[in-house]
Structure 1
């Protein structure tokens, strides 16, 4: 990956495209943790790609590309949330998405969506994307102990929701 980043830094647009393609699934998962609306997800990812492309010369170290890209995405998601709050004083209900292809994935997404955003994001970054606690702290601009406590509380809340859902079977 670092090789591609160096090529992109030297102006190779194909290398940048390849980096984005390799990060597409991660970006989608993270944006999905903030939004249920596919349009907002697409907007966040598109804004992230544009900003990353324009800001690529500002990247100091190639090995931090992934962390840098995810941080941009998180900021874009927060910007969209703020913009949507200002534009719509009434509560907006999320769009009903297309039915999941696999019931298990759908159930997992429902469980994750039932968690508060602050827990959902930390759990997704840690378990879904494999970031370390220190990296998550840097990405979300918070103390490592806060990340650890959100991981712990998020796991507990997830477990409680999961147990409650399984008790109905």
Structure 2
């Protein structure tokens, strides 16, 4: 396939213009970001079904609104922002439903299947800290973009990152018998 005036996106996909992005190119972008999408949605939502719903809705909205994207290098923060909005939309819907049974036994946390012991501790953090840690350290998203994704000021993101690191250090030291990690 020969393209005029093509630009390289993520070193893998060549497109003439993101407004005329082919279905295959869009699918490749989704595949490149699938772990990040899953990890972030799982950090916000409790059930696997909700995670899958949020990701599906995100992909549909991203595909139908790709023409609104201003620059291809903004694709990941843009789609993550859509995902966060979908996750919170699902949470709002669940809050409207009044549950009478105790479902705490069914609550879970995201478990990364890699040998990453740190993720065990990250999963124990409150959502506000878990999201910024995952976006910053695991998905390599800048503070500026995290602030846009989560609708927070950059100062709040920095503060949450700092507080989360302190909490993680304390948890890890408590479970290692007080050994220092520095």
TM-score bracket, normalised by the shorter chain, equals: 0.7 to 0.9
Q: Which residue of 2 aligns with 1:141?
A: 151
Tell me, in whole angstroms, the C-alpha distance in 1 between the residues paired with 2:14 and 2:29: 7
SS state at 2:147 partner: helix
Q: Deviations over 1:108-139 (max 9, x none)?
A: 44322211100000011110111111111121
**Length-normalised TM-score, structure 1:** 0.85
Q: Which runs of 5+ in 1 are unaligned?
A: none
Tell me, in whole angstroms, the C-alpha distance in 2 between the residues paired with 1:69 and 1:33: 16
| Aligned 8 A contact 1:5 1:16 in 2 | no
Residue 81 of structure 1: how far off its partner (Å): 1.2
Q: Which residue of 1 aligns with 2:83?
A: 73
Q: Which residue of 1 aligns with 2:163?
A: 153
1:162 and 2:157 matched: no
Bigger Cα Rg: 2
Compared CA separation, residues 4 and 83, structure 1 to 2 (3 A): farther
1:132 and 2:142 matched: yes
Query: What's the RMSD between the two structures over aligned residues?
Result: 2.5
Tell me, in whole angstroms, the C-alpha distance in 2 between the residues paired with 1:37 and 1:166: 31
1:14 and 2:2 matched: no
| Aligned 8 A contact 1:4 1:19 in 2 | no
The 5 Å alignment of 1:39-78 reads 39-78=49-88
Q: Which runs of 5+ in 2 are unaligned?
A: 1-8
Residue 161 of structure 1: how far off its partner (Å): 1.4
Residue 96 of structure 1: how far off its partner (Å): 5.7
1:116 and 2:129 matched: no
The 5 Å alignment of 1:87-106 reads 87-90=97-100, 92-93=103-104, 94-95=106-107, 104-105=115-116
